[in-house]
A and B are shown apart, each in its own frame.
Chain A
Amino acid sequence: MEQEYKIDPEQAEMSGGEALVRALVDAGVEYIFGYPGGAALHIYDALFKQNRIEHILVRHEQAATHMADGYARATGKPGVVLVTSGPGASNTITGIATAHMDSIPVIVISAQVPFDQIGTDAFQETDMIGLSRPVVKHSFLVMKPELIPEAVAKAFYIAQTGRPGPVVIDIPKDMTDPAVQFPYRYPEKVFMRSYNPADTGHPGQIRRALDLLLAAKRPVIYVGGGAIQGNASAELSSLVTRLGFPVVQTLMGLGAVPASARESLGMLGMHGTYEANMAMHHADLIFSIGARFDDRVTNNPDKFSPQARIIHLDIDPASISKIINANVPIVGLAKPTLRKMNELLVRSGRQPDSEALAAWWKRIEEWRQAHGLRQDFEEEGNSAIMPQKVIQLLHEITEGNAFVVSDVGQHQMFAAQYYHFDEPRRWINSGGLGTMGFGLPAAMGIALTRPDNPVVVVTGEGSIQMNIQELSTCKQYGLPIKIISLNNEALGMVKQWQDISYGGRHSSSTYQGSLPDFAALAESYGHLGIRISRPSDLRPVMERVFSAEMADRLVFLDIMVDPNEHVYPMAIKGGGMNDMMLSKDMRT
């Protein structure tokens, strides 16, 4: 395949290590999250001799991958990881799988043992290409030093286009040897005959979709992470406003449409709102945008929305009709496709069935009145702090503007339910893989970019311990993250399932008095640690944590919450979307 190359006349000859760093600069990289080691030393030496890319030294390679991932989710730009061979490479796997499941552009550069030692069980050798194969969008093993810039250009192209995802570049040590010099050429344009991702959806399918939308009596717009990754919020919001249809958002789609929009019914699915799930179940038309009918959404696919016709817009044809058959499949990017739909709607002047829509909204309002998300959490009356109240206060004090980065478990669901996201890329969480330990490092990838709004980790005493070593990295780079830990002294979501389905037998979900003093732990890393357990302390302490005097500090706020609280609503296993537990003793 033909490539067009850019040749730098000033520095025509360089080593593979220098070419790698230079190619990353040409690809627009600002930060690398990494950890050095034997096979990566040539590359680290090349990094030392330049000042255009800042390298962030992590404490564990998994955390490096989550940092790159968090950076990518918040900025929309690919995050870059650099690790050594063997354990350095294998430690990134959970992070790569996390990015893969949520379609996040991350580039992982792993050093490898010298090419002629591959396959000999050399020191710190692992087959990174093989190990990562099931969880990458693509991977490259560099077999000639002069091919490094091309591999970088292709990796960035593949990671960001089509359905985004992680790409691994495995580079044997001899490819970066300073003794081997060659002319640097970076391809200005990448062309691959076997990879041609779609752009705007097919016009015929778009027309069919509009016909269905305008004829619908009980429509729902079902929005997933693809609308956020595809930067389609503006186009989506104008479509929603124009049609006046109810909108439900997946865990990954929160913020794609403002939670405060009149049309928003909040999150759907396993812990979605009653009205969102009921609307989905009773709809006669579902327009899915960048969502994939995940099992945490549909519950039992055989009982899913029995009367609904489906329009499914997705960049990945394999996601369409995978779980639920689509009546109108549209393969394309959300942004240009929705723009086209808006244009056609305006031009034609056609309107939805307003009478049917009014009746549909009346039903939805009745659902919302009957069993909408519980809001009446007392601030001081209870004996224990309610976790939902913490999130409500967090929203109030940060004025809904924070980057909220969560770990995985009950706290994640409370944050998703009660921090109402009005903007895309503000809610950062591991939705697909459900990776505990994601929160703190992902927040660090965002905090590095010095955003104007606070970066908050909502976590629990379980998840935070899975990457707590990164408190040291936060100290090194002065990252003023606010850690809000909902400490219920148990693996809360596991315990909730054990309460509901296993007769309350808490098998290995409690710590038997072994938890550390998190405030003291944070202090030992040089940060500020605070522990509270009295409801009356919550508001004043939260206000102090987010006050101007704390703006430059990492604060670890360990909040002892009601240990018996469950997340509701909760889908009843095997049922339809209308089958929910609404509290400990109420079912639909």
Chain B
Amino acid sequence: MLLENEAGALARTVGLFAQRGYNVDSLAVAPVDDGSVSRVTIMTAGDDRRIEQIIKQLNKLIEVIKIVDITEDSHIERELLLVKVRIHNNRQKDLQRLIASAGGSIVDSNQDIYTLEITGEPLAIDSLLEALPGIAQLMEMVRSGVLGITKGSKILAL
């Protein structure tokens, strides 16, 4: 959704989820365009009726400019993962192969500690995280939350 980039607008958005008993599975937000607008991607779950209610309630917030359920159309989901691992004995090659196959890169290394960066669909990131422990010990990770955009000519913009 597009939200006025004003003090308190994000608090109102997140507060609404808490007040009405909705879950936020993931939240990504940053200013876009001329900086007066924030683009927010919220991932939540529920049946059609619940999602419709969430969208209607969000639309009632004065600062919400536009909101769409992008899962109604074919769309692209992306998430960024930064993960720090300690590599198991002599598995550098395996790590490099795994990261390359996932389209990621090694952005820092210090002896046996590696920091990896991968962008992809949330499910691809999940499966990478499942594969990593065979090669390295997971020490720390940070995920950006899911970003979404519709395919084709349909747009969400001012």
Contacts and interface: CB of A to CB of B under 8 A. Distances in A.
Whether chains A and B associate is yes
Interface of A: 129-130, 133-134, 137-139, 141, 143, 158, 163, 192-195, 316-318, 321-322
Most buried by B among A137, A194, A316, A322: A194
A321 B49 CA distance: 8
B8 A141 contact: yes
Contacts of A321: 49, 52
B52 to A, nearest CB: 7
Contacts of B7: 141, 143
B12 A322 contact: no
Closest 5 CB pairs of A and B: A318-B56, A194-B65, A138-B62, A134-B19, A195-B62
B63 interface: yes
Contact of B15 (A134, A192, A317): A134
Contacts of A322: 53
Contacts of B158: 193
Contacts of B62: 137-138, 158, 192, 194-195
Contacts of B142: none
A141 B8 CA distance: 9
A316 B59 CA distance: 10
B15 A318 contact: no
14 contacts: A130-B11, A133-B11, A133-B15, A137-B62, A139-B8, A141-B7, A143-B7, A193-B158, A194-B62, A194-B64, A195-B62, A317-B59, A318-B53, A318-B57
Most buried by B among A143, A195, A316: A195
A321 to B, nearest CB: 7
Contacts of B53: 318, 322
Contacts of A143: 7
A473 to B, nearest CB: 33
B60 interface: yes
A143 B8 CA distance: 12
Contacts of A193: 65, 158
Nearest to B62: A138
A130 B18 CA distance: 13
Given A139-B8, A193-B65, A195-B62, 12 more contacts: A133-B11, A134-B15, A134-B19, A137-B62, A138-B62, A192-B62, A194-B4, A194-B62, A316-B60, A317-B59, A318-B57, A318-B59
A134 B15 CA distance: 7
A103 to B, nearest CB: 12
B59 A133 contact: no
Contact of A194 (B19, B52, B56, B63): B63
A317 B58 CA distance: 11
Interface in B39-71: 49, 52-53, 56-57, 59-60, 62-65
Contacts of B12: 133
Nearest to A134: B19
